[in-house]
Amino acid sequence: MVTVDVEEERKEIIRRYRKLLRKAKPFLKDDDAKLIKKAFNVSLEAHKEMRRKSGEPYIYHPLAVAQICVDEIGLGTTSIVAALLHDVVEDTEIELDEIKADFGKKVAKIIDGLTKIAGVFDYGTSQQAENFRKMLLTLSEDVRVILVKLADRLHNMRTLGSMPRHKQLKIISETIYLYAPLAHRLGLYAIKSELEDLWLKYTETEIYNGIAEKIAENKTSRARFIRNFVSPIQDELNKTGLNFEVKGRPKSIYSIWNKMKKQDIPFEEVYDLFAIRIILDTEHEAEKAACWQVYSIVTDFYTPNPDRLRDWVSTPKANGYESLHTTVMSRTGKWVEVQIRTKRMDEIAEKGYAAHWKYKGGPGDSHESGLAQWIEKVREMLEQNDTNAIEFVDDFRANLFHDEVFVFTPTGDLKILPFGATALDFAFDIHTEVGAKCLGAKVNNKLVPLNYPLKNGDQIEILTSVKQKPTEDWLRFVVTSKAKSKIKDTLKEARKQAASDGKEIVKRKLKQMKIPFDGDVANQLRAFFDEKTITDFYYKVGKGIIDASEIKKYKDVKTDKTRPQRAKPLGQHYIDDMTKVKTAGKDILLIGEDMDMVDYRLAKCCNPIPGDDVFGFVTVNEGIKVHRTTCPNAPELLSNHGNRIVKAKWMSDQQNAFLAGLRIIGTDRVGLMRDVTDVISNELKVNMRSISIDTETGIFDGQIMLFINSTVHLEELSAKLEKVNGVMKVSRFDSVDNNEGM
């Protein structure tokens, strides 16, 4: 048992509290320090008996969250108080009314937004999604609720090492699925990058450590390269009299890994491993001219890549990000990204939304409006949305992480829409009625269809017709939440009307057949026509998909034969699946809290094999499906459906065959394919299911689906194949089917 030095802990708590006060001191007013002290004492008392999984006193956590709010986001007293108290209502006896009485409405509102909804949820719904929706309801009134939540999440991610694996998976999946995109949308790039890096650290630990080591190894040579690269630029900048600072920073581990994965290249071939940042200290009125002056100096010394110029100084991103980016060729033959921005722009880029308030009311106020508009859109989404929480979260998320397109109305007004937005999205952005009646559009004076994807600089005129109505197909043409929500509302209304018409038709038909109409008969008709719900049945009758004359056939069939067994509720499927014991001789995977052997299926989207890190997912109608933790669908499943996740672990390597995919790239030569298949079939006695080969300009690219026993077996096979003459790279790939049904 670990002995606790109570006196030493008390000193450490006070030290951390004083550090927080020191950082907050520059902006404290009137009684702010007293209020922070009061919040600290309430939190200390409320959490006094509690400890974190690491064994530390719980108070360390709220203190750390408050420190992040001050240091890394730049928030003030209200947020510090809310951070110190953010867990007391959920975890202790203190009520929200007490917080309101002692610390005011604003603090209470933020804490309410951060407090999870208690209670039992129906099977198949998502508590995480409901809690997220509740938090966003508060965000639409006070953005600080999300900023404190991001600080809370960042500290939880930094201290994740002490948590059990299944809890780690849940937290990291929510982080990559929702919180990192949210930090990005609010312009908190430093926090977004750290959250992504920590996600990678806990999902692909070896890859993360490998990239981190390589970055550390290159530190000295990188510093030398940066010195030589910036030397002529600094000399020239000194002559201009501009105040400036030059920084060289490596790209985040996650962004390097992402590039390696997308381009299928090793670390050594990632050309922009770091960026040079030139930060100017200049008056707001002179910012744009100064940035372009520096760009001119940089390109005097180094040739720029014309396709890599990004001007977010003239047109800032919707989250307020401003900077001028260019990629230039250095004298050593390496591409280098150069970012040019002012001190104000840099602070906004690092601290995001909170930093805007420092400049609000000044000339930079227009840049804050992009975020204000986004929060207004969130408010609209919440008001319009009557879908379930999971659909809402998916819609919301779809609008978080997109790049943007800048387009213009016929009168020259600028509209910023998510990347991938279509003419139909633009129509709904103008007005709901314009969207609903949209027939097509003129882009740059040329006629285009509804699904035309918008490009930067397009000028769009929407064509409408009173006869036009939204259809199901429209949902495939739009990416914005506003458009999706409005189309769904219109379709729901039309569906409701068709179902009502269908019900009347059914009643008339039954009356003609002298069959009394009641709930049982309606349910028997639904079963007879094999529809999921009675509304679906009425809708199809109303739309003529089921001919009314077909109802006569129902009369000729005996009721007891047509009445199906009642469908089991989703929860029952889960219980049944968890109690079916696997028969001996089959592959063994332990599933559930008690680590039982139960029936399961392997998900086709990621083809898990023994040795992979996996989890079980209880599907609606296919029992338990097992996914790899690195599956493309894992973040969504773990974030939105935590109540349907079960632990899963391979007991040992079994001599059974599992399907896996290998991609082989090399230089084409006569006999290469024969040598590859010899290694697979003869040396290691592996069966192949399929093979596809593409050769172009001397490059051999083969994809082989084969049956192997475990990850160890697969690694052994990959190592042998890499030794074949001409083979340059062997990598595992997942199935192309990335949309497993739930």
Residue 555 per-residue DSSP state:
H
Q: Is 91 an annotated catalytic residue?
A: yes
Distance of alpha carbon 114 from alpha carbon 138, whole angstroms = 9
Instruction: Confirm if 662 and 732 have CB atoms less than 8 A apart.
Output: yes
Tokens of 22: 């020191």
In whole angstroms, what is the distance from residue 668 CA to residue 264 CA? 19
- Pair 211, 256: CB distance under 8 Å: yes
Write the DSSP symbol of residue 606: T
Task: Give the start-end residues of each E strand in 331-470.
Answer: 335-342, 404-408, 414-418, 438-443, 446-448, 460-464
Cβ pair 408, 166 in contact under 8 A:
no
Contact 646, 707 (CB under 8 A): no
Determine the distance from the C-alpha atom of residue 97 to the mean position of all C-alpha atoms in its chain, rounded to a whole number: 34
Whether 716 is a known active-site residue: answer no
**How far is the C-alpha of 637 from the C-alpha of 217, rounded, in Å?**
37
Q: Which of 269, 256, 160, 159 is nearest to 213 (CA)?
A: 256
**Between β-strands 589-591 and 596-597, what pairing exists: parallel, antiparallel or unpaired?**
antiparallel
Please, what sign has the CA dihedral across residues 570, 574, 576, 580?
Answer: positive
8 Å CB contact between 730 and 738: no
Q: Can you tell me which residue has the tokens 């840049």?
A: 367
Length in residues, the chain = 742
- Out of 30, 49, 71, 91, pick the active-site residue: 91
How many Å apart are CA 335 and CA 225, to the nearest integer? 12
**Closest to 140 (Cα-Cα) out of 473, 383, 443, 498:** 383
- Structure tokens belonging to residue 102: 């002692």
Closest CA to 99 of 117, 111, 115: 111
Place of tokens 């914005």: 480
How crowded is residue 213: how many other Cβ atoms within 10 Å of its Cβ?
11
What is the C-alpha separation between 168 and 199, in angstroms, rounded?
10
Three-class SS state of 680 = helix
- Strand locations in 120-205 (E): none
Classify 161 as helix, strand or coil: helix
Q: And the tokens for 341?
A: 């921005």
Q: Give the amino acid at 390.
A: I
Spatial distance between the Cα atoms of 501 and 538, rounded to a whole number of angstroms: 8
Pairing of strands 274-281, 335-342: parallel
Is 483 within 8 Å of 378 (Cβ atoms)? no
Q: How far apart are CA 620 and CA 220, in angstroms?
A: 55
Residue of 31, 45, 90, 493 marked active site: 90
Tokens (6 digits) for 330? 């250095």
Q: How many CB atoms lie within 10 A of CB 617?
A: 25
> What amino acid positions are annotated as catalytic residues?
90-91
